[in-house]
Amino acid sequence: MKKILLFTLFLISSLSFAVEPIISSQLHKGMKGYGLTVFKGNTIERFPVEVLGLLQNQTPGENRVLVRCGGPVIEKAGIIAGMSGSPVYFEGKLAGAISFGWEFGQEPIGGLTPIESMQSVTRLYGTRGNEHSLRFEEIPDISKILNPDLKSFLPKELKDAFRRGYFVSSGFRSLPFSAGSASFAGEATDAPKHLKPGGAIAVALTRGDLNLYAIGTVTSIDGNYVLAFGHPMFGLGSISVPMHTATILATYPSLKSSNKLGAIGAEVGTIVEDRSAAILGIVGEKADMIPMTVKVNFGDRSTSYSVELAEHPLLTPYLTNLAVNTILTTACETVGLHTFNLRGRIDIDRHPPLKLNAMVIGTSMAGISGQVTSLVQAVLQNPYDSVHIKGITLNLNYSERLRLAQLVKVKSSGVRVHPGETVHLQLYIKPYQRDLFIKNITLAVPANMKPGDYHVEIGDGFSIMKRESKVLKQKIESLDGFIRLVNAFLRNSKLYVGLTEKTSALFMGESVQSSLPGSVMETVEMQGVHIPRTGKWKEFRAVDVLTLDDVVQGYFSFPMKIVAR
């Protein structure tokens, strides 16, 4: 198999072995020192640094230092993305890390994050440990799972980080890898085996057949603690993401913003903190990743991909969306009309698997990636339980035909019937760029049906589920309950025909008590027990299902009166 795409997220960063610090208040204009970074390969080079002044309280209670850097490479390229974290020394003492610059600058002027601010990240980790929890109060929204909103997969802060240009494609494609290699595909064999102050560091967000990583510079190393970047990666706080060495392939000068182009090396530990002044890693710790396998079938052939995703409630949904979208765009080599038949599962530690079963049509891969991502997001951001996803498995059958059909008309043999009679329905279905056809189905009215006013509803599974999403949401009281509900979703490749009665209902956990007399409702409330209830529960008295080879869309509802004989 070939590598499908290589992305590099360049963030300014730095590290150094434990050295006596010099704090920002001890620095003054005109002081001269030096910084350490890698411009090419693994060679750590010195570059001159001069203090221009102190920027006080650039963030509340924290200073930044304005500096001018020099040297042949920097004089040509300016402050380079990927220098973030480059340690800077004055009087032989560690002052902090190069952490920011400006676009289109004509002078190599940048900013330094003081070492005292960076070391506070280590102290923060030491006091609160490496546990992190993130709780969401919202019950998973069924309608958003059926109709995913791609904008919701990445919080505003993370969007801003990518928008600021940290996320840069290297332009490499079709990178080969050795399936028999002991290291994962894409690891640079000439990268160093250990981190050093001034050396390159990489943070793996995805790896395998899609590599996405942040590259910066090591600032300091104190025992097993590694400080880098001099600024946040995403500002996610407590995290657990693999930390790697890296090698710099080249430094690319640009009038807008120069970049280091790098490759990821050996895994050496875990990034555990992502804070405003630095990221913190621990050498020797192992971060959990979520393995995802994607198999795409093209009739007589198939292609498989394996990717590992960093696990975090806010970041993983975005990475899932990115990985699925990129894999399918590459595998299918088209963004034209298509249909995917999706089967798969999301395996969750200590919970039943969440099953995926849907047909998805469209002109881009956003539809299919959105289906998968919305469920990953709902699982990781559920309000009931902090969970670990053990794996994601996707199996997709791909067709370049748009398999879409529209329910355009319904005819009924009557709208007044007796209990025990049969209603004959004609469903008029128009496939995309194919001839209209008619399907005849029958709906048997139960013999014990009480006379009264009912409705006949005909629609595709997703349309019916969307109409009932607010009511169904009240049934969810646990993550297992949510999983059971999703696994029982109606399908968008089927038409469901039902004779329905609207009634009141009480929600007793996942159990629904419907058609209860009003006196029962009043008695329950008089006892001070408040149970979720609805007056819009639909009781299906008769059901038939029509399975199609297309994604079907359409919904009709008309009244039906049951009269006594």
Average pLDDT of every residue of the chain: 81
Q: What pairing do the DSSP bridges indicate for beta strands 225-228 and 211-222?
A: antiparallel
Here the tokens at position 317 are: 């949904």
Least confident of 2-6, 154-158, 333-337: 2-6
Amino acid 513: pLDDT: 45
The rounded percent of the chain whose pLDDT value lies above 90 is 49
Task: State how far the alpha carbon of 482 is from the alpha carbons of 347, 388, 408, in Å.
Answer: 14, 16, 33
The pLDDT > 70 percentage for the chain reads 77
**Of 404, 394, 377, which is closest to residue 325 (Cα–Cα)?**
394
Distances in whole angstroms, Cα of residue 448 to Cα of each of 157, 191, 445, 513, 542: 59, 77, 9, 20, 12
Q: Which of 540, 359, 547, 539 is nearest to 441 (CA)?
A: 547
* 152, 161, 39, 111 alpha-carbon torsion, rounded to 10°: -170
pLDDT in tens, 93-116: 999 999 988 888 889 999 999 999
Q: What pLDDT sits at residue 235? A: 86
Q: Which residues contact 376 (CB under 8 A, 6 or more apart)?
A: 316, 317, 320, 346, 389, 392
Residue range(s) in the chain whose domain bears CATH number 2.40.10.10: 5-129+151-176+184-284
pLDDT: which is higher, 300 or 196: 196
Q: pLDDT band at residue 170, thresholds of 50, 70 and 90?
A: very low
Maximum alpha-carbon separation in the chain: 102
Contact 67, 110 (CB under 8 A): yes
What pLDDT is stored for residue 551 in this prediction? 93
Backbone angles phi, psi at 321, to 5 degrees: -60, -45
- 411-429 tens-digit pLDDT: 999 899 999 999 999 999 9
Instruction: Let me know how many helices (H) and strands (E) the chain has, helices first.
Output: 9, 30
Cβ atoms of 454 and 559 within 8 Å: the answer is: yes
How confident is the model at residue 10, as a pLDDT?
41
Residue 507, pLDDT > 50, answer no
pTM of the model: 0.81
Residue 247 has pLDDT above 80, yes or no: yes
Structure tokens at 424: 């004959």
**Class of the CATH-defined domain 5-129+151-176+184-284:** mainly beta
pLDDT of residue 340: 92
Q: What's 339-356 look like in SS3?
A: EEEEEEEEEECCCCCEEE
pLDDT digit string, tens, across residues 347-383: 999 999 999 998 998 888 888 888 899 999 999 998 8
pLDDT in tens, 444-453: 998 988 898 8
**SS3 per-residue string spanning 253-271:** CCCCCCEEEEEEEEEEEEE
Q: Supply the pLDDT for residue 410.
A: 95
The reported pLDDT for the residue numbered 438 is 96
Banded pLDDT at 512 (limits 50, 70, 90) = very low
CA atoms within 13 A on the CB side of 23: 8
Which of residues 203 and 170 earns the better pLDDT score? Answer: 203
Q: Using an 8 Å Cβ cutoff, are 394 and 294 in contact?
A: yes
Which residue is associated with the tokens 């958003």? 144
Task: Report the amino acid identity of residue 329.
Answer: T
CA end-to-end distance (rounded Å), the chain:
70
Higher pLDDT among residues 7 and 296, named by residue: 296
**Measured in whole angstroms, how far is the alpha carbon of residue 388 from the centre of its chain?**
14
Which residues have C-beta within 8 Å of that of residue 206, sequence separation ≥ 6?
Answer: 212, 213, 307, 308, 309, 310, 319, 322, 323
Tens-digit pLDDT profile for residues 488-500: 888 889 999 988 8
- Residue 165: φ, ψ to 5°: 100, 5
Residue from 214, 484, 215, 468 nearest 348 by CA: 484
| Structure tokens that stand for 189 in this block | 């064999």
pLDDT at 7: 41
